[in-house]
Chains A and B, each alone.
Chain A
């Protein structure tokens, strides 16, 4: 046997093996080499992300990864689904499209597997987990920032409470499924959070888009949300809180976020709130929480572009003053919305500017040419008057940044709402109609709209006024529920075209005053009990 070679090979092989193996197993401990990934937190970028959750679809602008699975980003956007859930289900709006989920909204027939409600729900929860994460890793950050993120988390929970009632509740990241919280308990938590963080937030101030901190929530955002919470407290908890609502609404009214009352270049002050340059034309003084949009930098299908494009058809663009190439012709008014401006049912077949004149109210931004007033065919866009409230045009006459994506910021909260809350609370306290103070709040809005005023308003008149002022801004379902006109015993007292799927309107059950917990989460979270009726 010749072992000469063998003797040499064994030590050599052993050496190679020893060196090779020990270094190679260390290779397994990788860290990301992807330039779009990092493991080191950045306070400002995490802070802004919590805000962006309401205005963007995800990390990649209008197209691409949308932070949420199961629904495309353009559809699952916050504002779009806020609109769908709170407007399409009411007397204000109806949509012509056939996308799954739209008819169920139009006809009050949603269930637990409604795709868009699922998207809305997860959009809000994703935002909550971002806030929770921020509060975890950036606890030592600027106290104002921390307070604001707690405000945002409370805001997301507010929408969940309002829409879905009893929902899973997590204030920190967890490895187990969150427990379900009852609506009234969640109300209490939101209230205490807001009261706790309110004074740590920025002092209220009016800001333009060129100013620092434009787009952030200040103390009046917390005050307005508290006012909104108290206004609907009876719905959420069974106990009315009218005077609290009035107190907090008046804090806003008396703060710096004044109504914008100055029209320019033929645009009314009211119109200027919804135009491409609303961040810079002065109207933003009324904005308490603007969601930022920019045709180049901050693009999304689901925010102001959705509000504009979904309501416009190209035949409305007679003066090429609309400002984007997008016309989706879906959402338009039910006749009951026009009746708020034309109680006699005599809304003319007119252009937008003619309509406002005919109504004697700057807020009647409707287009009636080649349209029918009554919605005979829900799937026809021209069946029903069109709404020309949102556009990308600049009131200054300047050019929008992009021909498709809009620059129009969306004022998720604006001070006009405080006037309406204060007036309604005032009327509720005062036996159903306003005192002079309360009437003054409504008159302030009506004067801004260059329309008539009165010395007193009933609660029902205030509900109509809310519609005139806030239509297509995502409030209506909550308002109708508060008045009992949505689902339930009084549902039959106020009918609208196609309510409950019947052309002349029909009542529907009270359980529909909250949406169903999405089936996906019912599957995923064993702690959840479905809302009654679903």
Chain B
């Protein structure tokens, strides 16, 4: 976004500071002839060549050559957009190689509303450029940062193609409001409302277009985002073209193949027959239902799946206008049959500059079209429960109405249709294959994102810059869902319909920046800004079935007349909704740098949000930096490249995920729900109902106060570098849907400010480069995070806030928030075991020793969030070969195995009420429980620590021998997992493991070409 604009800010400072040490001697002028090229040897056309301290300047010609007069030994600076500045001593013949701008990232990072030299940062900021070599399958930008950054946890929701992920920066700071970080793409803060067909805002960007990620972690870095900064900020900058350069075309693409790794170990057909006969008796009603088949339902619903990804980029520059265009296409099949994700992206970037670079534009346009074919994931659960002795298909004429799929059926008399003697028994398990093929569910989503950024360096007052960015995001998505009438979900009537969503996000931000250097050693800059943003979203839906033409059913019209139902819509439902919010902000930042060693940063943001009655709140921060290695006593220590201490403190807010209209009284009107009316003739003939909605006019911002202390270091010529941080974050006025005392509000749960929590943590990131030779390079990057989350206060009305719904029963929760425990801790009974180590059904430890087992015997046992996480990636390059892998570990994260608890009732493997059989796991048979009542046992909470290998990659790069350079590589993703957890995958977002779409193992072959 603001690349050209601010890139000069640190460089300029550098120049000024360097200038202080340079003595300008009076040498005779000479003619300097030079050639400017890039790292690949291509000449650079139009680069600016200046002699420092003089007015002399020129630009390079079409061959990259220049000629200029300069004093012998004077410094000549060569600058060019997209490249790092270079300096040479004046000599008759010079050759200047400009380093790619991407390496500038090493030194300059994007921060909120600006850029800063990395060495001048006072906050906890991690900037990474995606590793273009060492990675597995990447569909979503989130895949590029998984396991790569200390303090950042990315947990994908499962193996759904194009699926989203949970991103947590330094643990969750909130309970019920959003814990998602703010994502800023090219200056536009994205809202976290998804759109039909797109999992999260990161889906909108083609990963191949991403230049860099900057993760702002502590408050001194995020407070500039005020009320949206509490969960950290991820700033994504997309790639840009470079000035005045011939068009360069590059291609990257890959083909991958995914397979399922593990399925749940349920009984097979023979085991199941034996079990039913021994449990219920060989002559029982249960045994009579057994079939003769051996169907492995889980094998039947999954498949091997191919995917491809193709990208073409053209970049270059026409005079003062660098450009970059890219298009990308991803087509990913999921391993669950029928699932597929396709995405087409296009992006355009133009960066013209005028008035001797005083006026610069940055124009971005991005387009995304995604087509999602969602599989009916209900099949995953059904496959683990469906009787394995039944066949997939049956030729029995009885199943003709079921498209030949074998099903548990029941008397169909109530359908009043002689062609339907039977109907699907709704209370049984459906044939998993019929689940997959009965539902045609697809979404198309479109996203248009653009921004125009103007930066003006005031003529004659060059210390002042004015900056404006107008950005917008318009997205719409339509999901269409059709259920076949032969399928279980909407048997007989079928169902078809759509849900349509549309939203826009419009943001105008402006700021002015003023720099001042004085007394030769002191630097001061200040930025003040204003931002206005408006989010609006709306949508509607319509779903209906159809009475088959053969039905004898009738419909009663509103006027009481009865008509034949055949062909009429059945159970039509519609909804419409609309909402919006505004955020108006004023913000500022001041930096003071003394002797290039002592740094002070102060930021403040005042946010006004339409989501609270009291709109306004202020979020300040202050930070100090000390470059210890610049002190006299360390200046001569050669092995020490950098040693910097950072101290920061700040306040941030949180206002996402809490609804737009929670603080004033409204009524819900059931306008579109024609089946939810209560007509009383003479009073309310159409039966429209007004429900007073619960509201809380005292609802206020969540505020997080963060203190951070960090140390950055680099030694032995960058062979070993890294940073460590310790932080303490306290969130007050936590927003949660909390139970309120009965009778005091219109609902038993109301969105309220209920307490405080804290996160304490330690992060370390270390990069080691053990081998740095001409042929061999080896780099290992590791990170380690420790985060301890604890609730410190809950207001009197809610000493225990239950959460974490499980599948056993309705409204059963296995987690709770309570003071002194991590948020979402498991809140369960302590299981008692028999002498064989088997858990005794319903026998719990009487923890409060009052002689009865009741709710007060539940205790807090472990937490789903891992206190310890770590990542490691390694890359070795030998000549043109590269080999890399990534590992990720999580320790002491616990998972409630909901699936296992769901099998508890062994007695109900044959359900006599509904007359069907369902499968189970061996462990449940051994437990031999006979109710579903005791799911809230700590028996089902398991340690799910794991070590995963996310990817292994081998690549070979080739130079432009035949006019084409590039790289070929092979890679495997999600290679192995080491864990004691017996479920399918220990990595479970939220810690409740039910029917997750399993993450596949993927093999990939890729090719990059540069023309």
List chain A positions with a Cβ less than 8 A from chain B. Answer: 1-6, 9, 13, 17, 20-21, 24-25, 27-30, 32-42, 44-49, 51-52, 55-56, 58-62, 64-65, 67-72, 75-76, 96-101, 103-104, 111-113, 115, 118-119, 121-122, 125-126, 128-130, 133, 145, 167-170, 173-178, 210-216, 292, 296-299, 313-315, 317, 320, 322-330, 379-382, 398-399, 401-405, 519-521, 523-528, 534
In the complex the two chains form, what is the Cα distance from A368 to B659 in whole Å? Answer: 54
Q: Which residues of the partner chain A approach B913 to less than 8 Å between Cβ atoms?
A: 96-97, 313, 328-330, 380-381
Q: Does B775 contact A (CB under 8 A)?
A: no
Which of B556, B809, B912 lies in contact with A99, CB distance below 8 A? B809
Q: Does B416 contact A (CB under 8 A)?
A: yes
The 28 sampled A-B contact pairs (Cβ below 8 Å) are A6-B460, A38-B690, A39-B665, A39-B666, A41-B690, A48-B683, A48-B689, A59-B668, A60-B670, A61-B674, A61-B675, A62-B676, A70-B748, A96-B913, A98-B933, A115-B809, A126-B746, A129-B692, A133-B746, A167-B742, A177-B797, A292-B678, A297-B677, A317-B414, A320-B413, A379-B930, A402-B571, A525-B797
Known: A61-B673, A69-B739. 9 other contacts (CB 8 A): A34-B577, A45-B689, A96-B912, A115-B809, A129-B743, A173-B745, A296-B555, A315-B411, A405-B675
In the complex the two chains form, what is the Cα distance from A29 to B609 in whole Å? Answer: 9
Using known A-B contacts A28-B582, A99-B810, determine if residue A17 contacts B747 with beta carbons closer than 8 Å: no
Q: Does B687 contact A (CB under 8 A)?
A: yes
Which of B665, B671, B681, B684 lies in contact with A47, CB distance below 8 A? B684
Q: Which residues of the partner chain B approach A111 to less than 8 Å between Cβ atoms?
A: 854-855
Q: Which residues of the partner chain A approach B802 to less than 8 Å between Cβ atoms?
A: 70, 520
In the complex the two chains form, what is the Cα distance from A72 to B555 in whole Å? Answer: 29
Q: Which residues of the partner chain A approach B907 to less than 8 Å between Cβ atoms?
A: 379
Q: Does B308 contact A (CB under 8 A)?
A: no
User: Chain A's nearest CB lies how many Å from the CB of B462?
Assistant: 10
Residue of B whose beta carbon sits closest to that of A44 = B684
Contact A45 B680 (CB under 8 A): no
Which of B461, B679, B908, B912 lies in contact with A6, CB distance below 8 A? B461
Contact B423 A520 (CB under 8 A): no
In the complex the two chains form, what is the Cα distance from A470 to B168 in whole Å? Answer: 57
In the complex the two chains form, what is the Cα distance from A336 to B989 in whole Å? Answer: 50
Contact B691 A320 (CB under 8 A): no
Q: Does B101 contact A (CB under 8 A)?
A: no
In the complex the two chains form, what is the Cα distance from A2 to B356 in whole Å? Answer: 15
Contact B675 A30 (CB under 8 A): no
Contact A213 B687 (CB under 8 A): no
Which of B581, B666, B932 lies in contact with A98, CB distance below 8 A? B932
Using known A-B contacts A33-B578, A98-B905, A380-B912, determine if residue A297 contacts B610 with beta carbons closer than 8 Å: no
Q: Which residues of the partner chain B approach A403 to less than 8 Å between Cβ atoms?
A: 414-416, 553
Which of A52, A126, A212 lies in contact with B681, CB distance below 8 A? A212
Q: Does B397 contact A (CB under 8 A)?
A: no
Which of B414, B584, B660 lies in contact with A322, CB distance below 8 A? B414
Which of A130, A298, A329 lies in contact with B692, CB distance below 8 A? A130
Q: Which residues of the partner chain A approach B675 to less than 8 Å between Cβ atoms?
A: 60-62, 296-299, 405
B interface SS class: loop
Within 8 A of A (CB), among B857-900: none
Contact B414 A298 (CB under 8 A): no
Within 8 A of A (CB), among B493-546: 512, 530, 532, 534, 538
Q: Does B314 contact A (CB under 8 A)?
A: no
Contact B809 A101 (CB under 8 A): yes
Q: Does B636 contact A (CB under 8 A)?
A: no
Q: Which residues of the partner chain B approach A1 to less than 8 Å between Cβ atoms?
A: 460-461
Residue of A whose beta carbon sits closest to that of B794 = A523
Which of B426, B582, B680 lies in contact with A30, CB distance below 8 A? B582
Q: Does B935 contact A (CB under 8 A)?
A: yes
In the complex the two chains form, what is the Cα distance from A336 to B933 in whole Å? Answer: 26
Contact A27 B743 (CB under 8 A): no
Contact A297 B674 (CB under 8 A): yes
Contact B744 A176 (CB under 8 A): yes
Residue of B whose beta carbon sits closest to that of A329 = B913
In the complex the two chains form, what is the Cα distance from A99 to B811 in whole Å? Answer: 10
Q: Which residues of the partner chain B approach A119 to less than 8 Å between Cβ atoms?
A: 811
Q: Does B466 contact A (CB under 8 A)?
A: yes
Using known A-B contacts A27-B610, A30-B661, A298-B687, determine if residue A103 contacts B933 with beta carbons closer than 8 Å: yes
In the complex the two chains form, what is the Cα distance from A398 to B580 in whole Å? Answer: 49
In the complex the two chains form, what is the Cα distance from A1 to B461 in whole Å? Answer: 7
List chain B positions with a Cβ less than 8 A from chain A. Answer: 410-416, 423, 426-427, 458-461, 464, 466, 512, 530, 532, 534, 538, 553-556, 560, 562, 571, 573, 575-582, 584, 608-610, 615, 660-661, 664-684, 687-693, 737-749, 796-800, 802, 808-812, 854-855, 905, 907-908, 912-914, 930-933, 935
Using known A-B contacts A36-B577, A37-B667, determine if residue A100 contacts B933 with beta carbons closer than 8 Å: yes
In the complex the two chains form, what is the Cα distance from A170 to B742 in whole Å? Answer: 9
User: Chain A's nearest CB lies how many Å from the CB of B625?
Assistant: 32
Contact B687 A524 (CB under 8 A): no
Contact B460 A2 (CB under 8 A): yes
Contact A28 B609 (CB under 8 A): yes
Contact B811 A59 (CB under 8 A): no
In the complex the two chains form, what is the Cα distance from A71 to B661 in whole Å? Answer: 24
In the complex the two chains form, what is the Cα distance from A398 to B676 in whole Å? Answer: 23
Contact A37 B666 (CB under 8 A): yes
Using known A-B contacts A9-B466, A97-B913, A379-B930, determine if residue A520 contacts B739 with beta carbons closer than 8 Å: yes
Contact B582 A525 (CB under 8 A): no
Contact B677 A213 (CB under 8 A): no
User: Chain B's nearest CB lies how many Å from the CB of A516?
Assistant: 9
User: Chain A's nearest CB lies how many Å from the CB of B584?
Assistant: 5
Q: Which residues of the partner chain A approach B674 to less than 8 Å between Cβ atoms?
A: 61, 296-297
Residue of B whose beta carbon sits closest to that of A5 = B459
In the complex the two chains form, what is the Cα distance from A20 to B665 in whole Å? Answer: 30
Q: Which residues of the partner chain B approach A379 to less than 8 Å between Cβ atoms?
A: 907-908, 912, 930-931
Contact A128 B810 (CB under 8 A): no
Q: Which residues of the partner chain A approach B461 to less than 8 Å between Cβ atoms?
A: 1, 3, 5-6
User: Chain A's nearest CB lies how many Å from the CB of B861?
Assistant: 17
Residue of B whose beta carbon sits closest to that of A291 = B678
Residue of B whose beta carbon sits closest to that of A54 = B678
In the complex the two chains form, what is the Cα distance from A393 to B458 in whole Å? Answer: 84
User: Chain A's nearest CB lies how many Å from the CB of B896?
Assistant: 15
Contact B578 A44 (CB under 8 A): no
Using known A-B contacts A380-B912, A520-B802, determine if residue A36 contacts B687 with beta carbons closer than 8 Å: no
Using known A-B contacts A45-B688, A313-B913, A524-B798, determine if residue A35 contacts B576 with beta carbons closer than 8 Å: yes
In the complex the two chains form, what is the Cα distance from A113 to B665 in whole Å? Answer: 31
User: Chain B's nearest CB lies how many Å from the CB of A216?
Assistant: 6
Contact B683 A35 (CB under 8 A): no
Which of B562, B610, B680, B808 lies in contact with A48, CB distance below 8 A? B680
Contact A59 B912 (CB under 8 A): no
Q: Which 4 A-B pairs have the closest CB atoms?
A: A212-B682, A2-B460, A100-B809, A61-B676
In the complex the two chains form, what is the Cα distance from A39 to B346 in whole Å? Answer: 44
User: Chain A's nearest CB lies how many Å from the CB of B108?
Assistant: 27
In the complex the two chains form, what is the Cα distance from A71 to B805 in whole Å? Answer: 10
In the complex the two chains form, what is the Cα distance from A30 to B688 in whole Å? Answer: 25
Contact B932 A30 (CB under 8 A): no
Contact A100 B932 (CB under 8 A): yes
Contact A122 B680 (CB under 8 A): no
In the complex the two chains form, what is the Cα distance from A356 to B900 in whole Å? Answer: 46
Q: Which residues of the partner chain B approach A521 to less than 8 Å between Cβ atoms?
A: 739, 741-742
Q: Which residues of the partner chain B approach A33 to less than 8 Å between Cβ atoms?
A: 538, 578-580
In the complex the two chains form, what is the Cα distance from A75 to B576 in whole Å? Answer: 26
Q: Which residues of the partner chain A approach B669 to less than 8 Å between Cβ atoms?
A: 35-38, 45
Residue of A whose beta carbon sits closest to that of B671 = A36
In the complex the two chains form, what is the Cα distance from A470 to B668 in whole Å? Answer: 37
In the complex the two chains form, what is the Cα distance from A175 to B584 in whole Å? Answer: 30
User: Chain A's nearest CB lies how many Å from the CB of B356?
Assistant: 13
In the complex the two chains form, what is the Cα distance from A2 to B355 in whole Å? Answer: 15
Q: Which residues of the partner chain A approach B740 to less than 8 Å between Cβ atoms?
A: 177, 524
Which of A30, A41, A327, A382 lies in contact with B912, CB distance below 8 A? A382
Contact A297 B687 (CB under 8 A): yes
